[in-house]
Amino acid sequence: MASSVRILISLFSLLLQFSSFASSQSFIGVNYGIVANNLPAPEATAKLLEATSIGKVRMYGADPAMIMALANTGIGIVIGAANGDIPALASDPNFATQWVNSNVLAYPDSNIIVITVGNEVMTAVDQSLVSLCLPAMQNVQNALNAASLGGKIKVSTVHSMAVLGSSDPPSSAVFNSGFSDTMKSLLKFHSANGSPFMINPYPFFAYQSDPRPETLAFCLFQPNSGRVDSGNGIKYMNMFDAQVDAVRSALNAMGFKDVEIAVAETGWAYKGDPNEAGPSIENAKAYNGNLINHLRSKVGTPLMPGKPIDTYIFALYDENLKPGPGSERSFGLFKPDLSMTYDAGLSKNSQTPTIPTSPATPATPSPVQGAGWCVPKPGVSDAQLQSNLDYVCSQGLDCGPLQPGGACFEPNTVASHATYAMNLLYQTAGRNPWNCDFLQTATLTSNNPSKLQRLYLPGRSMNFRFVSLERFFRLVNCGIQRVMASKLS
């Protein structure tokens, strides 16, 4: 009987991961830069993308070979008109029509979804482009409308966070006053055409300007004490949400609550120069892995709850010819040989485990990733455990069983409740080692700490009449919680 219970537990874990991650998420994208001399062939890149849960690719130009390679894959494509094209696009509608004919209509089997006119134009060195950006966007939009593609393909431009005059706290954010008139005109265009406001938030750079341990945890979606917005009392538990909500506040303050936000770039360097704070494999894996899990949870942000935001991670590959510090050439999720730089949880193969064909098989399946359970380390203070508990429950996970009257409310101690919450996050976020760190207050174990072969449903002895998989998971987790709480007390 004990072996059957172990099989059911392992089967449940596999089903949980399968249901969460098996399909592509349309809101998860990646940036494809080509400032490199060692990139794989476009056809190989297309096959790589199809093997991941990446649903969209953003290009900085309109690479014909890559657009053709992505034909009939269903992957959404964002193509870009370069800053250098803006003067011609703005002044000559015929040039805009020719550009659309050459870069869009020529590829009917490719799923082009957005055209970005320029990149970070508002803060570019050439400020003459600022006044030309909107006319260029309008001409591209008119060309799409003439081709009956105006409702299918959106037109936008991409901004750096520097377009905000202030962003801390998020509720106080407004656009830089020097851009007010231009920004209002751009936003009227977005509102009229239903196109997204595209922004490049980088907690990586926020940490570099404030390299404290608590800032790093806040940037990496790791347990932290949070930061309260003094304007509205909202407690932010990660920098990404705070930065995105700052943009939301600025849009709202200008009267454009209907304009949606898309994150055109965000990422974390895995390597950098000795004097750079933050780059490392561990930090990059934590940021991108936790960001992906945060998006998949569909919890949204405090100002945009319950809604995943289209987010393009920078970048698919390193760009070895880019100038600047070492980190600029070290954002790639994959290497030129198509192997992973580190596992951020994007591979379909790593996320779609094989489910045992016979539940009666006596052998216990191995965990899909890492060890089986995440538990607190001995000697962790109640204050730290409470911080871990608050963090987990702020991430959109169901902490209802810990409420009075809930299935796991007893024993009513911080240690007991934190144990439940910490393992809940680890199990539901993909069982990645970085999801069981909690500022080094947690540890992974392959030994079943709750001795679940003794687990009984309330009022029944080994009678597995489960209401749902969710109910089963709660009972399993409650067993871990109670045993570990007694060990910690």
**Residues classed as catalytic:** 120, 265
Say which amino acid occupies 263: V
For 319-351, b/e burial (b = at least 16 CB within 10 A) is: beeeeeeebebbbbbbeeeeebbebbbbbeebb
| Distance separating alpha carbons of residues 118 and 124, to the nearest angstrom | 10
Token pair 């919890």 in the structure block, residue: 299
- How many separate helices (H) and strands (E) can be counted in the chain? 15, 16
What are the respective helix, strand and coil percentages of the chain, to the nearest 5?
45, 15, 40
Question: For 150, how many CA atoms within 13 A lie in the half-sphere containing its CB?
Answer: 16
Look up residue 453 and give its two tokens: 């072969």
Token pair 């485990």 in the structure block, residue: 353
Question: For 244, how many CA atoms within 13 A lie in the half-sphere containing its CB?
Answer: 28
| Distance separating alpha carbons of residues 151 and 131, to the nearest angstrom | 25
Helices 180-193 and 130-146, interaxial angle, to 10°? Answer: 10
| Distance separating alpha carbons of residues 326 and 321, to the nearest angstrom | 11
Say which amino acid occupies 327: S
DSSP state, 357?
Answer: S
Q: What's the first-to-final CA gap in the chain, in angstroms?
A: 30
* Bridge partner residues of 235 (DSSP): 228
Q: Provide φ and ψ at 247, rounded to 5°.
A: -65, -40
Look up residue 466 and give its two tokens: 């489960």
Q: Are 29 and 262 in contact (CB under 8 A)?
A: no
For 42-79, b/e burial (b = at least 16 CB within 10 A) is: beebbebbeebbbbbbbbbbbbeebbebbeebebbbbb
Look up residue 424 and give its two tokens: 């809940």
User: If you compute the radius of gyration of the chain from its CA atoms, what whole number of angstroms results?
Assistant: 24
Token pair 């052998």 in the structure block, residue: 363
